[in-house]
Amino acid sequence: MDKDWDNLIILDSYRADYFRKHSCISGKLSTFTSKGTWSLEFIVNNFQNFEFHDTVVVTSNPYYQRYSKLGEGTFHSIIYCPNTGGIKSFDKLSKKALETNEEFPNKRIIIHYMKPHTPHIGETSEKLRNKFGDAYPGMFLLYRSGVISKGTLEQSYIDTIDMIEPKVQKVLKELDGKSVVSADHGENLGEKRHGLTQVGHGNPTQECYRVPWLETEYTERRRIRTDPPVESTLIDEEIVEENLRALGYM
């Protein structure tokens, strides 16, 4: 939070090396070590017990509401979008982010998307969903069970990146001020570490800890002001549980 930005776009689980190789978003790119290897750890270590009354969070990540113990006084406001899944949910969050850009012209804005986190989207994962139907267990379980190769898992991840990045670029063009694109943590995609095959996140690995930091070009800065918090937009706890289940946490 002490870095220089007006808008911080967080692409959940976007690891640094894949960003460098596959991202089409232009800007000055560097990498750094995240304070978490999964979302809850990232949120707790960066935000818990602090006050950021100059910042509004727009997110579909359920951990801002569940388990992280962020009080009403942490941010100026948190605006939740109820769904975490496919590309339509991604678009809804983008719409909400641009509305927030207009509604809070004097606030920093964190936009925390839930992609390229699983469930993956795109051609590779869609073929497997059609093949397995209701029994589709997700890409990581398919890989662990030997049904798909490491290459297929990696391609599914890249497919997701390819689908979301043009949408992120559109949002960046509409945001006011200096925008940065980053991630809360990275992802393991079948790498061997400590003699074990690692997939997903929450692992103490370089792939999970290293994240991108892309500073994009801007013309004018937002004039940031600290104000007392306003009521956050919460979602129903049943929806929170559904979202956590869809993300593979329950």
Q: What is the pTM assigned to this prediction?
A: 0.92
**pLDDT surpasses 50 at 246:** yes
For residues 189 and 237, what is the distance between their CA atoms, to the nearest angstrom? 31
H-helix segments, the chain: 16-22, 39-47, 87-103, 123-132, 139-144, 150-174, 206-209, 237-246
pLDDT band at 195 (very low <50, low <70, confident <90, very high): confident
Q: Which segment of 8-12, 82-86, 108-112, 144-148 scores lowest on mean pLDDT?
A: 82-86
Lowest mean per-residue pLDDT among 82-96, 201-215, 234-248? 234-248
Q: What are phi and psi of 104, to 5 degrees?
A: -125, 70
Residue 217 backbone phi and psi in degrees, to 5: -70, 155
Report the alpha-carbon distance of residue 237 to residue 188 in Å, rounded: 29
Name the pLDDT band for 156 (thresholds 50, 70, 90): very high
Q: What is the DSSP string of 19-37?
A: HHHH----SEEEEEE-S-S
Q: Considering the chain, what is the average pLDDT of its residues?
A: 91
Q: Is the pLDDT at 135 greater than 50, yes or no?
A: yes
Asked whether the predicted pLDDT for residue 238 surpasses 70, the reply is no
What's the pLDDT at 61? 87
- 233 neighbors 78 (Cβ within 8 angstroms): yes
Question: According to the model, what pLDDT value does residue 194 have?
Answer: 80
Instruction: Note whether 76 and 53 are within 8 A (CB).
Output: yes
Residues 6+ apart with CB under 8 A from 237: 66
Instruction: Output the pLDDT for position 119.
Output: 92
**Top-confidence residue, 188 or 64:** 188
Cis omega before residue 82 (within 30°)? no
Quick: pLDDT tens for 22-75. 999 999 999 999 999 999 999 999 999 999 999 999 998 888 876 556 767 899
What per-residue confidence (pLDDT) applies to 241? 62
Percentage of residues in the chain having pLDDT higher than 90: 78
* Confidence label for 250 from pLDDT (cuts 50, 70 and 90): very low
Q: 237 pLDDT band (50/70/90 cuts)?
A: low
